[in-house]
Chains A and B, each alone.
Chain A
Amino acid sequence: DAGITQSPRYKITETGRQVTLMCHQTWSHSYMFWYRQDLGHGLRLIYYSAAADITDKGEVPDGYVVSRSKTENFPLTLESATRSQTSVYFCASSRGQHQETQYFGPGTRLLVL
């Protein structure tokens, strides 16, 4: 499980600030994903990446930016944080497409004041 890590684990920020959540995996998995977990909505996909320099939008991409310059890293940036982005954010990786098991990080709890 230590193969995929997230940092920070907890973050408090203010409305309008830029925040970057980090995700790092050591398996050389091709696919990486960012989800947010909210009560009543379950897990919703924000962005995903099929390989380095290839990213695509998920279900709720607005207000978020991602990059994947290296296979092992997939940072998620909130360009101007809003209260509605208060959530728990999970990063995941998998070897291949949706038929493959996804491995999840421990999550980052973000509070936007």
Chain B
Amino acid sequence: AQRVTQPEKLLSVFKGAPVELKCNYSYSGSPELFWYVQYSRQRLQLLLRHISRESIKGFTADLNKGETSFHLKKPFAQEEDSAMYYCAPPMAGANNLFFGTGTRLTVIP
């Protein structure tokens, strides 16, 4: 069955420390993976997508097909990075995404 796993429900790091939010997926094809973010009192919004290979707000995510992972990384966490983060690969054979359970990141000043 299609699955996406974000093993950490809660993650706390100190400001300036590196942060990595883990995401593992099960998908037999070549997935188009996304990270969405929800800041406090804001809408869920796209943070970055694998295909564009860009860095948004200092975050990057590398697709590792061998490990079926798409971890989100940032070298120096900022307080404004505190938010809920969702990894989202596509549902196999479907026209929609399959969101993980999310990781709530707290950056401690």
Contacts and interface: CB of A to CB of B under 8 A. Distances in A.
A59 B91 CA distance: 10
Contacts of B96: 31, 33, 45, 48, 58, 97-98
Nearest to B52: A101
Nearest to A97: B95
* Count class of interface residues, chain A: 20 to 34
Given A42-B101, A99-B32, A107 B43 contact: yes
Give the size range of B's interface with the partner: 20 to 34
A112 B105 CA distance: 29
Contacts of B49: 101
Contacts of A97: 95-96
A43 B32 contact: no
B28 to A, nearest CB: 15
Contacts of B101: 40-42
Given A40-B101, A42-B100, A44-B99, A106 B86 contact: no
Nearest to B44: A104
Contacts of B90: 98-99
B97 A98 contact: yes
Contact of A31 (B45, B95, B102): B95
A107 B42 CA distance: 10
Interface in A84-113: 90, 92, 97-99, 101-107
Contacts of A101: 34, 46, 49
Contacts of B43: 1, 104-107
9 contacts: A33-B96, A40-B9, A43-B44, A43-B86, A43-B102, A45-B98, A45-B99, A48-B95, A104-B43
Give 7 closest A-B pairs by Cβ, nearest first: A42-B101, A98-B90, A43-B99, A104-B44, A97-B95, A42-B102, A99-B32
Given A42-B6, A102-B97, A105-B43, 8 more contacts: A31-B96, A33-B96, A35-B99, A45-B98, A48-B95, A98-B96, A98-B97, A104-B43
Interface of B: 6, 9, 32, 34, 36, 43-46, 49, 51, 86, 90-91, 94-102
